[in-house]
Amino acid sequence: MSTRTLLPAVAGCMLLFGCLADRSSNGGGRLKSASFANAAAVGGFHALGPKSVLVLTLRSSTQTTRCTNATMSAIVFTDKRSASPYSGSVAGFYSENSYGQMTISGQVSGTYPIDMTFPCTLSNMKTWADAADAAATAAGVNVNAYDAKVYMLPPESTTKCSPWGGWTEGNRIWIRDDQCDAKFILAHELGHTFGASHSSIPGSTNEATYGDASSNMGGLLLVADSVTRRPADPTTLYIWNRTAHWNAPEKIDAGWLTGNSVQTVSVGGSYRVAMLEQAPSTDPQVLKIGTKYISYRRAVGYDSDLWNVCGFHAGGWAACTPGQYVDKTSVHTGGNGRETILLANLGDGQSFTDGSGLTVTQTRHDSIYAYLMVTFSAPRRAR
Ligand SMILES: [Zn+2]
């Protein structure tokens, strides 16, 4: 059973991600051994081809990380995706998220002893990781052969390393003990090692930085009724197992959507985009209009729980509307190696207008496509 505590949407810690989730301290060049360069990917992204992940489970002089090697192996590599509510393995998520263009393999090894000297500073965390690497090396593990290394910290980390739940530095990831079985956080931190930044909304607060919950690289909101909706799951682990597809600009930057999948639009008219979750075909899945990215999301596959996720709103987390993203058109900007910014979600009949005179309206949708009307208020130079 999880010992994780759910924080209600009250008090000063309404954004669980902001309270519990992660810090990562640099923006690029995270991989030591990136071997897959691809012209389609934005610089700093290493998200194409096979990736290897080493998970090291750790113990202090008195305690061992809560998740066993078998648990970690299932979470990271082998869990099958069930219909609902649980997602599958982190590897399965990235396979679907990348449309099969990135695969993750690897192993879990441990438990290895570390001397848990506190406080939980980056300097001490590096010392723990170095000790774990040395112990694993002595046990015959080639720790330098992996694209990313995950250190599952002993239980002391739960309070000593709060408020973050996961931390990424270079190709190293530290996971707090109480978050060891949270696929959401594991997938998110791995996303940083693959080059992704955060999925944000306009604004400069920590909440805004994680404000686009339609992507695993954004935040995660626990509204009060998201607990009561699934009383059969007292651990609420399903919430922490959600791994939403990356958003449109992130998928483009990763090199997963190219060619016909991304249609550059400079002339007004009717357009159709296929849902972002669908494997690329001849259908456009993103309209690129100037600096804006237009895409359509549905609650299918690893996005099956997307209906119960919502991002930060100007009115605070209490203003969350579950279903914010589902069967709707998303309008993003940003990306290109920096945070993406969610500007709008459009249901049927709803429009987004920007300062340049662009208007995008979702006129209708079906199980595969959103049908859009694009207008420009002034003649626009073709590009
Ligand atoms: Zn992060």
Helix 183-193 with 90-97: angle, nearest 10 deg: 50
How do 269-274 and 369-376 pair as beta strands?
A: antiparallel
Asked, as a colleague might, if the bond just before 379 is cis with ω within 30 of 0, I would say no
Å from CA of 247 to ligand 1 middle: 15
- Measure the CA–CA gap between 356 and 269, rounded to whole angstroms: 17
Which of 29-33, 159-163, 290-294 shows the lowest per-residue confidence on average (mean pLDDT)? 29-33
Q: How many CB atoms lie within 10 A of CB 288?
A: 18
- Measure the CA–CA gap between 292 and 87, rounded to whole angstroms: 30
Q: What is the pLDDT of residues 112-171, one digit of tens each?
A: 999 999 999 999 999 999 999 999 999 999 999 999 999 999 999 999 998 888 999 999
Å from CA of 361 to ligand 1 middle: 32
Å from CA of 22 to ligand 1 middle: 5
The token duo for 40 is 């389609």
Å from CA of 110 to ligand 1 middle: 26
80 or 370, higher pLDDT? 370
CA-based Rg of the chain, rounded to a whole angstrom? 21
- Measure the CA–CA gap between 36 and 193, rounded to whole angstroms: 13
Which residues make up the environment of ion ligand 1, defined by Cβ < 5 Å? 22
Å from CA of 53 to ligand 1 middle: 18
Q: Given pLDDT bands bounded at 50, 70 and 90, which one contains residue 320? A: low
Å from CA of 340 to ligand 1 middle: 12
The token duo for 371 is 């049908």
Q: What integer pLDDT is reported at residue 86 of this predicted model? A: 62
Q: Is 122 helix (H, G, I), strand (E, B) or coil?
A: helix
Kindly state the average pLDDT of the residues 360-383.
Answer: 88
Q: pTM for the whole thing?
A: 0.86
Order of all β-strands in the sheet with 199-200: 199-200, 340-346, 328-334, 292-297, 286-289, 262-264
